[in-house]
Every structure is written in structure tokens, then in C-alpha cells.
């Protein structure tokens, strides 16, 4: 054995172990998604929403970890992107819709609006989002988990719900570029701050740490409002050629969002 061969092998094993740990972390989001469905089926809706919140945290951090440890390089036969996509479809679409249906929170006729939400979700997850690796989604990505939270806590009238679902549906198909928080450097600090503030308030509401849940839920809307406004501003700058996008990642990097 040549000097240094054993440390090199150990180093490779450590890299593979780190990559496997990241995949396991992503897969934990699938565990959270499953128990979200379980809690919804037993009408423990706040627990279900809390699990969706935790799944959002996992999804928001696993991509950074995957790129950091170069999982495609060390575990090329396992697609973290495919794993992430399957889990995301449950946590951002199926589980929230199941909660809305089970809690009777869809406008009438419920079946029609369920189909509308599913159509938007199917399109979003089939959309290749050609600029995603450079920081932009084409059309609004699925955020039905967040929508389910606001409807559950605020209980808006049915016509408001119908208007919101229709609006989200249209934005999903609209040729507008929306920010990919983990990839676009422009406005990243402000966007992440708004996201953290929103997520923190949402968790506080679901954990019962605030007295006036409706008021704090309304305050947390600063997050979605910032995301929509910042995305429209970014889209305008992009169309004018004033926004410089980051270069495409190397083939060794992980593509999950």
C-alpha cells in the first residue's frame, strides 16, 4: 500500500457518508409529509400544519447542504433532485390540499377548487423552470402549504378564498419570473430576512405562543408580500436586461431547490 492511500480512502468514505446523510435529511421531509397526512386524517390540523412548517425548513436547507458536500459527485447513482421533487409535491400540494378538503376550508363546490389547485400544482412540478439554476422560477412555485395556513387561521369568506385560489392559479401559469431564494443573489439578504420573519411568526402561531393568532398571522403576511413584490421587481429588471444572473452550476453540483 502506498503511503497516504489509507487516508485517501478514509476521505472518500467520509465524503460518501456526508452525501448519504444529506439524502437522509431530504428523505426526512418525506417522513414529515407522511405524518402530515396522518394528522390530517385524524383531524389534528394544527399538528399537520406544524409538520408542514418543519418540512418547509428541511426543503429550504437541504439544497445548500447538497451543493456544499457535492452529493452528485460522491453518490451519482442516487438522484436527490428526484427525491426532493416527490417530497415537495406532497408537502407543497397534496398534503395542504388534503388538509383544506378535510377541514372543509375549500370554497364551494369543493371538488372544482380542488381540481384547480391540482392543475396548478401538476403544471408547476412538470415545469422545467429553465432559469431555476440561475435563481428564477418561471411562474409562481407551489405555495399551497402557506395558503392552507392562512386559510386555517384567518377563515376568510368563501369569495376571498376563491379569488386567492384563482389568483395563485393564474400566477402559476403566468410568464413572470419569481425568486428562487436559495439561488438568486440579488436581494437575497432582504428576501431571506422576510422569509425567516414569516416562518418564525407562523411557528409561533402554530405553537400557541401568541395571544392573538389572527393578528400575528396578518403580520406574517409581510413575508409573502415581500416575495411577490420583490419577484415582480426582479422580473422587471430581468426583462430590461438590468439583472445579472449567476452562472450555471457545475455538473458536480446538486440541482435540488
| Pairwise CA distance, residues 126 & 141, whole Å | 11
Per-residue pLDDT at 203:
92
Per-residue pLDDT at 255:
57
| Pairwise CA distance, residues 219 & 43, whole Å | 26
Q: At which residue does the C-alpha cell 412538470 appear?
A: 126
Q: Residue 178, SS3?
A: strand
Q: Which three cell numbers stand for residue 115?
A: 381540481
- pLDDT digit string, tens, across residues 159-176: 999 999 999 999 999 999
Per-residue pLDDT at 60:
87
Where do the structural domains in the chain lie, given as residue ranges?
Answer: 1-102, 104-251
Number of Cβ atoms within 10 Å of the Cβ of 249:
14
- 208: Cβ–Cβ under 8 A, 6 or more apart, which residues? none
| Pairwise CA distance, residues 188 & 184, whole Å | 7
* DSSP secondary structure string for all residues of 107-144: PSSHHHHHHHHHHHHHHHHH---TTGGGTEEESPPP-H
Per-residue pLDDT at 5:
46
Number of Cβ atoms within 10 Å of the Cβ of 244:
11
| Pairwise CA distance, residues 178 & 186, whole Å | 12
Residue 58 CB-density burial (10 A; 0-12 exposed, 13-18 middle, 19+ buried): buried
Q: At which residue does the C-alpha cell 428523505 appear?
A: 27
Q: Residue 150, SS3?
A: helix
Q: Residue 207, SS3?
A: coil
Low-confidence stretches of the chain (pLDDT beneath 70): 1-10, 247-257
Q: Residue 61, SS3?
A: helix
State the Rg of the chain over Cα.
20
Find residue 177's DSSP bridge partners. Answer: 138
- pLDDT digit string, tens, across residues 197-243: 999 999 999 999 999 999 999 999 999 999 999 999 999 999 999 98
**Cα 198–202–204 angle (5° rounding)?**
120
Number of Cβ atoms within 10 Å of the Cβ of 252:
12
Per-residue pLDDT at 133:
86
Residue 211 CB-density burial (10 A; 0-12 exposed, 13-18 middle, 19+ buried): exposed
Per-residue pLDDT at 2:
52
| Pairwise CA distance, residues 6 & 225, whole Å | 54
Number of Cβ atoms within 10 Å of the Cβ of 169:
18
Residue 90 is given by DSSP the state I
Per-residue pLDDT at 12:
83
Amino acid at each position: 500500500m502506498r503511503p497516504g492511500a489509507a487516508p485517501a480512502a478514509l476521505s472518500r468514505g467520509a465524503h460518501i457518508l456526508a452525501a448519504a446523510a444529506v439524502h437522509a435529511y431530504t428523505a426526512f421531509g418525506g417522513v414529515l409529509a407522511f405524518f402530515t397526512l396522518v394528522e390530517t386524517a385524524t383531524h389534528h390540523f394544527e399538528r399537520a400544519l406544524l409538520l408542514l412548517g418543519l418540512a418547509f425548513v428541511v426543503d429550504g436547507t437541504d439544497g445548500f447542504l447538497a451543493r456544499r458536500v457535492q452529493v452528485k459527485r460522491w453518490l451519482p447513482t442516487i438522484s436527490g433532485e428526484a427525491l426532493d421533487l416527490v417530497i415537495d409535491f406532497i408537502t407543497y400540494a397534496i398534503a395542504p390540499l388534503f388538509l383544506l378538503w378535510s377541514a372543509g376550508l375549500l370554497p364551494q363546490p369543493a371538488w372544482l377548487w380542488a381540481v384547480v389547485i391540482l392543475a396548478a400544482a401538476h403544471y408547476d412540478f412538470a415545469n422545467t423552470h429553465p432559469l431555476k439554476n440561475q435563481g428564477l422560477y418561471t411562474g409562481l412555485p407551489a405555495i399551497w402549504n402557506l395558503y392552507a395556513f392562512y386559510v386555517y387561521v384567518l377563515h376568510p369568506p368563501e369569495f376571498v378564498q376563491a379569488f386567492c385560489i384563482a389568483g395563485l392559479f393564474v400566477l402559476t401559469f403566468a410568464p413572470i419570473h419569481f425568486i428562487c431564494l436559495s439561488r438568486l443573489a440579488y436581494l437575497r439578504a432582504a428576501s431571506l430576512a422576510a422569509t425567516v420573519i414569516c416562518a418564525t411568526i407562523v411557528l409561533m402561531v402554530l405553537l400557541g405562543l401568541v395571544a392573538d393568532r389572527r393578528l400575528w398571522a396578518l403580520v406574517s403576511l409581510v413575508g409573502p408580500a415581500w416575495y411577490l413584490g420583490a419577484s415582480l421587481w426582479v422580473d422587471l429588471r430581468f426583462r430590461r436586461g438590468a439583472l445579472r444572473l449567476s452562472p450555471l452550476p457545475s455538473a458536480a453540483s446538486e440541482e435540488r431547490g
